[in-house]
Structure 1
């Protein structure tokens, strides 16, 4: 997968290179990975150190999952873009914000056909949603960091968009496979 398409290990490149079903499997695994870290790993550590509030452990576990995905040691610090893992983390931390952010993503994707544009705009909406819904400050700051990381990881997509080289994906057309 790293030799074809964008070279990215995420769901979008998997859909483009291998097909829709394998791409959706990658997506599900990445979302589950983020969710699992927030719910179970944080819960494990909370048993041993009752000093901090539980959401701080959850934020740290989510941050570790995203950082490990985006800058994995096993791929010379070149991993995915963190959107799906961040979605799983958000499901564990703030499911209401996740669902609104997902609706933003879906609307933008259906209007534009660009997963990258939908991901960037949805990631920008999340800290705004956290702020206006009066979430704890640390959660709003964390979501802001996620937004910055997602935009940073999409630099190549932004260049391709500027040069009109970014490829669209259709929900209705069968993707080309190699």
Structure 2
């Protein structure tokens, strides 16, 4: 989740401060490849309707209507995909990580994770889950077979195998 948050911050930083850097790179590319560069202060000409006046500048078209619009779409997509519930679910799932002898194991998060699946856990099972998790983690941390696991996939494979 920290990577998602970092990515969102970087996209916002690009939106706030990235236009000038992009224009510098575009200018350099155009000079290197002897390509004509638009004059940003001139009126934008819509290639689909070249005779009709748009009443906007190239700067507005490419900075506001393209650059900002794409970054806004990306930020919105992150916000839509990583809602508070989804984020909480992923954080709780991270508690299952077997890395470093289950260092990230967190009973409270795992109980909260179980509550996301009310059809799979009865009220009684939820009540006893915390005790079962204590026994599980004590057992698994002492078992040599589980010491070198690096992912949930490794854990799943070993659980099926045993």
Structure with greater Cα Rg: 2
- Structure of higher RCO (CA pairs closer than 8 Å, 6+ residues apart): 1
TM-score (norm 2): 0.28
